[in-house]
Amino acid sequence: MLHIRNYINGGFHDPVGGEWITNVDPSTGETYSLVARSSAQDVAIAVDAARAAFPSWSALTAQQRSKILLAVSQKIGEHLDDLALAESVDNGKPLWLAKAVDIPRAESNMAFFATEILHTETSAHHTDEHTINYTVRSPLGVVGCISPWNLPLYLFTWKIAPALAAGNTVVAKPSELTPMTAFLLAQICSDAGLPSGVLNIVHGYGHECGAAIVEHPLVKAISFTGGTSTGATIARTAAPMFKKLSLELGGKNPTIVFGDVDVEATAKQVARASFTNQGEICLCGSRIFVDASIYDRFVAALVAEAERFTVGDPLEPTSKMGALVSQAHMEKVLDYIALAQQEGGRILTGGHRITLQGRCAGGFFVAPTLIEGVDTSCRVNQEEIFGPVATVIPFSSEDEALAGANSTMYGLAASVWTNDVSRAHRVAHRLESGIVWVNSWLVRDLRTPFGGVKSSGVGREGGVEALRFFTEPKNICIQF
């Protein structure tokens, strides 16, 4: 059986404790590899390696670092097929999706930050005719990057690319549920000429290996993407140690559909926003507010679109949805569907597990599910489900739609569908959300600030924001 080993100081190592976690293919339910169960000891060794590598890595010019990171990007592209297959098997997502989105985005993340560092500027301030201030930005040292399972290599590289580009050395942990592509990336980085110790990848459980990264006194910053309650745990540890923290957390994203839209075309896009990647994207719309004037027509069109989201073997090109990431996660999603019914919800489509024939008979598949009749204050409309489940809620006024949309503790992403440009701006400004898409969803420009408000996170990733997070500014004031 394949052993997913730690990558420390340029080499692959078994965990010090000799323990392994089983890694399951969610489309079959079968164990297909073993993941290092790392402890604080493994993390300490990784931090030592990262510390030793920091002086020389941070002393390289931006151009020299850029060249190496561009080579990593290029090699990710060359390994598109094997990385996409690994991602699909590890996560359960359709292979075509991993090939079209996850891996190309990992390649772009590396290339984006590799080139962004060639174009950044610092500022200077003239105070008076005898005084000038100028600002320098320096890398922090060793930083920790912790990522989730839903977009494994995509989000892993979204963190390590700016950290490395800015001159830091990294100890990173992918999710224990989807460690495979980070493991493959380690070899790619070595082959691309990334010096030993600059990137160290440790595997294991969050409360053990992840917590040890957060607790390590020499890790200067933590960039974390994952659940809101995990973010709170990390903040409790890191805040008194005065570490820099970037927290990208959960969401309960509203989709608002006004009465002036093209019903069929919009229903197609709204279904895509709800069910892409099995609804396991932090940005998926999970509460669909629909103008009462088109409610019946829109819901009929949406149900038809949801039913076109064929669930099947992730390796088959015809499968629009694959398996959920784990049995535990599937059970959580099914529990929320049951809860919705207890809360008075009516299932419009889906609402059940799907058992496939053949190779995937033991897989964790759930039908795309739409529910109506649940009040905005119900638990299914307040708590993150993170699966192929969305509720549909009618509204009679813009104010009512906004009140419902803003009624959760989350504020990550929203989408608004209307042909009225004034309303689009007005509603976008009033939404409590870090990201608002108008007549679109998941259109990403890597230069834009990315992150949430309220319990969806602290700080922003993307573009210059990420480079700011991974550097410390220093003002130098000179009088002459």
Residues assigned a catalytic role = 248, 282
Contact segment (CB under 6 A) with ligand NAD among 80-88, 141-149, 182-190, 437-445 equals 141-149
Q: Check residue 149 for interaction with ligand NAD (CB under 6 A).
A: yes
Contact (Cβ atoms closer than 8 angstroms) between residue 348 and residue 50: no
Question: Which residues partner with 125 through β-bridges?
Answer: 133
DSSP designation for 388: S
**Please, what is the minimum distance in Å from the beta carbon of residue 244 to ligand NAD?**
15
Nearer residue to ligand NAD within complex by CB, 351 or 462:
462
Nearer residue to ligand NAD within complex by CB, 188 or 238:
238
Q: Check residue 214 for interaction with ligand NAD (CB under 6 A).
A: yes
Nearer residue to ligand NAD within complex by CB, 165 or 211:
211
User: 397-436 mask for ligand NAD (x: CB under 6 A)?
Assistant: ---------------x------------------------
Contact segment (CB under 6 A) with ligand NAD among 83-91, 109-117, 206-214, 397-405 equals 206-214
Q: Check residue 225 for interaction with ligand NAD (CB under 6 A).
A: yes
DSSP code string of 281-306 = STT-EEEEEEEGGGHHHHHHHHHHHH
Q: Check residue 285 for interaction with ligand NAD (CB under 6 A).
A: no
**Please, what is the minimum distance in Å from the beta carbon of residue 79 to ligand NAD?**
22
Q: Is 340 helix (H, G, I), strand (E, B) or coil?
A: helix
Q: Which residues contact 449 (CB under 8 A, 6 or more apart)?
A: 434, 460, 461, 462, 463, 465
Nearer residue to ligand NAD within complex by CB, 40 or 263:
40
Distance CA 415, CA 413 (A): 7
Contact segment (CB under 6 A) with ligand NAD among 122-130, 162-170, 225-233, 359-367 equals 225-233
> 104: number of CA atoms within 13 Å, CB side?
8
Question: Which residues partner with 246 through β-bridges?
Answer: 223
> 294: number of CA atoms within 13 Å, CB side?
20
Distance CA 186, CA 62 (A): 22
> 182: number of CA atoms within 13 Å, CB side?
38
**Please, what is the minimum distance in Å from the beta carbon of residue 456 to ligand NAD?**
6
Amino acid of residue 211: A
The single residue among 43, 45, 68, 146 that binds ligand NAD, judged by CB under 6 A, is: 146
User: 358-397 mask for ligand NAD (x: CB under 6 A)?
Assistant: --------------------------x-x-----------
- Name the residue among 308, 304, 306, 301 with its Cα closest to residue 262: 301
- Per the rule left: phi > 0, alpha: psi between -120 and 50, beta: everything else, 386 is left
Q: Is 23 helix (H, G, I), strand (E, B) or coil?
A: strand
Q: Check residue 170 for interaction with ligand NAD (CB under 6 A).
A: no
**Please, what is the minimum distance in Å from the beta carbon of residue 144 to ligand NAD?**
9
The single residue among 15, 94, 226, 350 that binds ligand NAD, judged by CB under 6 A, is: 226
Q: Check residue 462 for interaction with ligand NAD (CB under 6 A).
A: no
Q: Output the residue with the shortest Cβ distance to ligand NAD.
A: 206
Q: Is 149 helix (H, G, I), strand (E, B) or coil?
A: coil
Q: Check residue 172 for interaction with ligand NAD (CB under 6 A).
A: no
Contact segment (CB under 6 A) with ligand NAD among 20-28, 227-235, 336-344, 424-432 equals 227-235
Q: Check residue 282 for interaction with ligand NAD (CB under 6 A).
A: yes
DSSP designation for 195: P
Q: Where do the H-state alpha helices sit in 60-100?
A: 62-78, 80-91, 95-97
Q: Check residue 350 for interaction with ligand NAD (CB under 6 A).
A: no
Nearer residue to ligand NAD within complex by CB, 75 or 105:
105
Q: Check residue 175 for interaction with ligand NAD (CB under 6 A).
A: yes
Please provide residue 379's backbone torsions phi and psi, each rounded to the nearest 5 degrees: -60, -40
- Name the residue among 114, 110, 113 with its Cα closest to residue 75: 110
Please provide residue 254's backbone torsions phi and psi, each rounded to the nearest 5 degrees: -85, 145
DSSP designation for 206: I
The single residue among 15, 94, 141, 148 that binds ligand NAD, judged by CB under 6 A, is: 148
**Total site size for ligand NAD, rule CB under 6 A:** 30
What angle do the packed helices 180-192 and 103-116 form, to 10 degrees? 40
Nearer residue to ligand NAD within complex by CB, 75 or 220:
220
**Please, what is the minimum distance in Å from the beta carbon of residue 37 to ligand NAD?**
11
Q: Check residue 227 for interaction with ligand NAD (CB under 6 A).
A: yes
Contact (Cβ atoms closer than 8 angstroms) between residue 152 and residue 201: no
Distance CA 25, CA 18 (A): 23
User: 232-271 mask for ligand NAD (x: CB under 6 A)?
Assistant: -xx-------------xxxx--------------------
Distance CA 351, CA 342 (A): 13
Residues of this chain that bind ligand NAD (CB under 6 A): 146-150, 155, 173, 175-176, 206-207, 210-211, 214, 225-227, 230, 233-234, 248-251, 282, 384, 386, 412, 452, 457
